[in-house]
Structure 1
């Protein structure tokens, strides 16, 4: 009898392991909520990325993992959603990198003015080792990043005049993202940065509380800023990266197979959304120009860039000069 005990115990252990492996491979039914701060317009960068992720995950999970998208800051503004993810009260959000920077200082490197020459270069850098360094920093801060998305470059739209040189925005009241790097950049250009929450911005421009703001083409188009501002200048001074994020607590509640398909769905959504944005931005510009918007492409980029030294010096110290140098090298290598 004693001789048969250990073989039986070993067999039982193998059986338990087999069932455990099967459980790990099982895709369980789950309903998730994902928030973002922009509109539910199908052409909006944030909404498109969110919906593409929801659809991809539904397909890959055989309909078992559903993601309900809440637009227009229904789950809170970006800061509130990040704070919620960190403590587990918000499950998922699509967040602009600029809003992550106050929580993960390394993320400021993406927002440095004129860091990226174009979207393909930004994609290559962010999808490579440099971008993975930022993902690791986010994870250490309680946020699980799943994939980057395309927010587009920020351009200046205002109600006063075309912007060709830094002198054209001197003294101009510009709505600034509530992020010190953005504010310092506008101060370096001698403008008057005015921090303003996104929901107040359209009315602020309409009522002349501000003279203008910087936002990507699709955001201008989907929110109809061209109807209340006359001048769009394609300055492309900030790259607006988006991130599909999940609470670390929620991420750890999924098994390995579920995590695998969640990451796959995020990558599929990123590819779909990036392709759409790059294919349609010029169409949106042409449409707005046809409706009377004055579009200026004649920008003195060297004049703008020459004023950015003070910003790079200050934030090189805050971010870490090694991180800044790594990104600059990665950008140069991407060309």
Structure 2
């Protein structure tokens, strides 16, 4: 063999060897048959539709390599809704689309979104998510073995009941409300003179029908699907606290993903989050979210005007005046002060700065 031929052969062998080395990480990575995703609600709720969209987009953007399977209605938790973050952190569940309410037992900073009458509107919420507040929450998650990927939304929580119109703090006194079993919720309702009860939705419906429980609180994206008008005549839109959602993943598993897979998941979460947020806000922010759904996702809402729809079902829908909100804010200030101390003044001040307060 000539010297020239030997040189050519050596170059080819070297190139093949180096190519094998650099190709090895991607070729060697083995994807699971499925990646389990936890969420609390069913597929027909906006939250559930966001999870479905995310799973579809991950599969599309990874060329079919990844199969994210949403497990709706807390199937993986067996009713223990506040344990989702623990189970993702330990790797029992791969990922989740969860409310900050349900993440708060592991990440107390998430309670900043549940401070009573603190945020009040979509603009303030968006500033917090994209600002120092959101950054701090994702940093806190990282310390607990979780990777925060992006945001979605369950919405501002409104109140309904079967007894009377609620406009002022004194209207709450003596009423029994089904609430989320988070301590800050219990504190808020007790401070207002109401009787908060933690129960699952199935039991709550029975309690409504029997007149044992007078009311409940939930975002509009829940009120319409559960047909709340079957049980309650009065709804008050008071935006007393908000319920953001976070796409998040087990940190150890996330760190092992190739960079192109991480990028695809992030893109899927951003797109699915935008879709899901628009669903939650449709009819509540003028035409903004309706147009996002129509122009970006070719999607038309079944109920584009939820307030009018609730009224058409016989409900009395009340929007609180600024003075009314101020009265509730003053009445619940002891709860806010207590919980600022619990979650840390640092995250509270970041939120105030993000909102320009």
How much is the aligned-residue C-alpha RMSD, in angstroms? 2.5
1:30 & 1:146 partners in 2: Cα distance?
Answer: 22
2:172 & 2:62 partners in 1: Cα distance?
Answer: 50
Is it true that 1:330 corresponds to 2:333 in the alignment? no
Deviation at 1:255, TM superposition (A): 1.8
Q: What is the DSSP-based 3-state SS (H/G/I as helix, E as strand, rest coil) of the residue aligned with 1:65?
A: coil
Does the 8 Å CA contact 2:99/2:243 hold for their aligned counterparts? yes
1:1-335 counterparts in 2 under 5 A? 14-15=18-19, 17-20=21-24, 23=27, 30-41=33-44, 44-76=45-77, 77=79, 78-281=81-284, 283-299=305-321, 300-332=324-356
**Gaps (5+ residues) in structure 1?**
none
1:276-304: CA deviations, max 9, x gaps? 22224561221121111111114411100
**Gaps (5+ residues) in structure 2?**
1-6, 285-303
Deviation at 1:22, TM superposition (A): 5.0
Does the 8 Å CA contact 1:127/1:148 hold for their aligned counterparts? no
TM-score by length of 1: 0.89
Alignment: residue pair count: 325
Deviation at 1:271, TM superposition (A): 1.0
Deviation at 1:259, TM superposition (A): 1.2
Deviation at 1:15, TM superposition (A): 4.4
1:87 & 1:29 partners in 2: Cα distance?
Answer: 17
**Distance verdict in 2 for CA 1:240–1:22, change over 3 Å:** closer
Runs of 4+ with >6 A deviation: 7-13
Does the 8 Å CA contact 2:40/2:74 hold for their aligned counterparts? yes
Does the 8 Å CA contact 1:157/1:214 hold for their aligned counterparts? yes
Deviation at 1:16, TM superposition (A): 5.3
1:202 & 1:93 partners in 2: Cα distance?
Answer: 27
Deviation at 1:138, TM superposition (A): 1.4
Does the 8 Å CA contact 1:202/1:225 hold for their aligned counterparts? no
Does the 8 Å CA contact 2:46/2:279 hold for their aligned counterparts? no
Radius of gyration: which is bigger?
2
Deviation at 1:67, TM superposition (A): 1.9
TM-score by length of 2: 0.84
